[in-house]
A and B are shown apart, each in its own frame.
Chain A
Amino acid sequence: MPELRIDDTQLAVALADLGTLIDFPAVPDVRARVQARIAEPRRMPWWGAFARARYPLAPVLLTAVVMIIAVLVFSPQARATAADILRLRGVEIFRGPLPSPTPTPTPGPTPSPSLALGQPVTLDEARQRAGYAVLVPADAALGAPDEVYLRPTAGSMQVSFVYRSRPPIPLSAQAGVSAVVSEFGNATVQSSFFGKLVGPDTKLENVTVNGGNGFWLEGKPHGFFYQERGSSTVTDEPLRLAGNTLLWEQNGMILRIEAQVDKATALRIAASFK
């Protein structure tokens, strides 16, 4: 091969010319497959949740959790206190920092796909397919849900109700709706472990709801993920609303109200579930 007696500029031109003749494969159309994959609830190894940027201090948190567990193992007194705090079956609550969400209120007549609650269905359909007795709040503050969603979880179904605009309940800056109610079926609770990431500015309180154990979370938005028991998979549960949250156990399911209301109102709504 002869010496390449051209300068850098000519060599650059020769390379660019070569570039036009490279046998690049036909452009694949991956849009449909990508969209199908991101529409699915995300599954990842259990440590994946900690590695995500959404929880940048997760390693610190994990260390703290390990230390707390160590303390609990060795101290009966600490164990008793923790049992009191963490007495809701299958629910674990961690304190940790959370990024603030970008406010994008988008109220409107369209369903709320950004909430990623699953497939829009009718209430009747949800009742038929949930596999458990779906409860609906009868409180006048909410009325009938505007949207009903069904989403398969580890071993059951998650049913969610979206309430678009319910003055005086403010619209969530995050999702542009007033309230979201979710129910996680019995099978999920049996086989799963729900984790709730509570920001440092969030108040956490033990409450009794309809005779069952519950939590009242007030303040900043909550990250949420849960783990299938007996498996190393954590299913990511994206942030729903920036509102306060009431989480409780009833009829063997876990119920959740997210709305920017005070505790008394949340408890009143919870009492109306039928």
Chain B
Amino acid sequence: MERARNGDQDAYGELVTRYQALAARVAYVITGSAADAEDVTQDAFVKAYYALGRFREGAPFRPWLLRIVANEAKNRRTAAGRRPTVELSAAAGRASGETALSPEDAAVASDLRSGLLSALNGLREEDRLVLAYRYFLDLSETEIADTIGVARGTVKSRLSRAMGRLREVYAHA
């Protein structure tokens, strides 16, 4: 990190390798497009490199980077003007790892998942993203707070409100 801050481009390349998977996932959750996520990831790393001078020494790099990724992704999505959604992979239907379930129970689990996902996709952006960050990308509340630029307490209340809304949308789907 220190070497990258001092303009060592190879050191920065290592940071790219380390964080590009997470950055791409954040970008995908926001844009809902694999191609956009890739462009956003690349652009965000270039921007972050030039912004390293603003990076506070000793601060965690991950949420700082993710904030740049998130901003870049939001700009891209606004430009594209579509509503982003994330989809389940084909593996979800097969309910792998739940072979102990009867076919009926597996079907129920599969229904629950697709219902939950469509409810999630139907939430407003702010709620959808806070849940995606927490549960899909496994970011801590502190990291989410840094990524979206709010206090940690706000993340807590946003998460609990988003959970409430998710139940409502699910029930009325």
Contact = CB atoms under 8 A, between A and B. Distances in A.
Verify that A and B bind, or say they do not: yes
Interface stretch (A13-21, A86-94, A190-198, A206-214): A13-21
A265 B25 CA distance: 56
A34, A39, A116 — which one has the most chain B CB atoms within 10 A of its CB? A34
Interface string B159-173: 010010011001111
Given A22-B87, A23-B86, 17 more contacts: A1-B170, A3-B171, A4-B170, A11-B167, A12-B163, A15-B120, A15-B135, A15-B136, A18-B113, A25-B28, A27-B24, A34-B16, A38-B9, A38-B12, A53-B53, A113-B9, A116-B7
Interface residues of B, number: 55
B8 interface: yes
B9 A11 contact: no
B49 interface: yes
Interface string A23-61: 111111111011101110010000000001110000000
Interface of B: 5-10, 12-13, 16-17, 20-21, 24-25, 28, 34, 37-38, 41-42, 45-46, 49-51, 53-54, 86-92, 112-113, 115-117, 120, 131-132, 134-138, 160, 163, 166-167, 170-173
Contacts of B16: 30-31, 34-35
B117 A113 contact: no
Contacts of B24: 24-25, 27-28
A8 interface: yes
A54 B88 contact: no
Contacts of A12: 135, 163
Given A11-B163, A30-B38, A114-B6, A1 B171 contact: yes
Contacts of A37: 42, 46
A75 interface: no
Contact of B115 (A1, A19, A26, A104): A1
A11 B120 CA distance: 12
Contacts, number: 129
6 nearest interchain CB pairs? A25-B34, A19-B136, A23-B89, A15-B135, A21-B92, A28-B38
Given A1-B171, A12-B135, A23 B88 contact: yes
A233 to B, nearest CB: 16
A104 B5 CA distance: 11
A18 B163 contact: no
Contact of B160 (A1, A2, A8): A8
Nearest to B53: A54
A33 B115 CA distance: 39
25 contacts: A4-B166, A11-B167, A12-B135, A14-B116, A15-B116, A16-B138, A18-B113, A18-B117, A18-B135, A19-B132, A21-B88, A25-B37, A25-B38, A27-B20, A27-B21, A28-B20, A28-B38, A31-B13, A31-B16, A34-B49, A35-B12, A38-B9, A52-B50, A53-B51, A116-B7
A52 B50 CA distance: 9
A29 B17 CA distance: 7
Contacts of B86: 22-24
A231 interface: no
A260 B88 CA distance: 62
A237 to B, nearest CB: 13
Contacts of A104: 6
Contacts of B132: 19
Contacts of B89: 21-24
A102 interface: yes
Contacts of A14: 112-113, 116
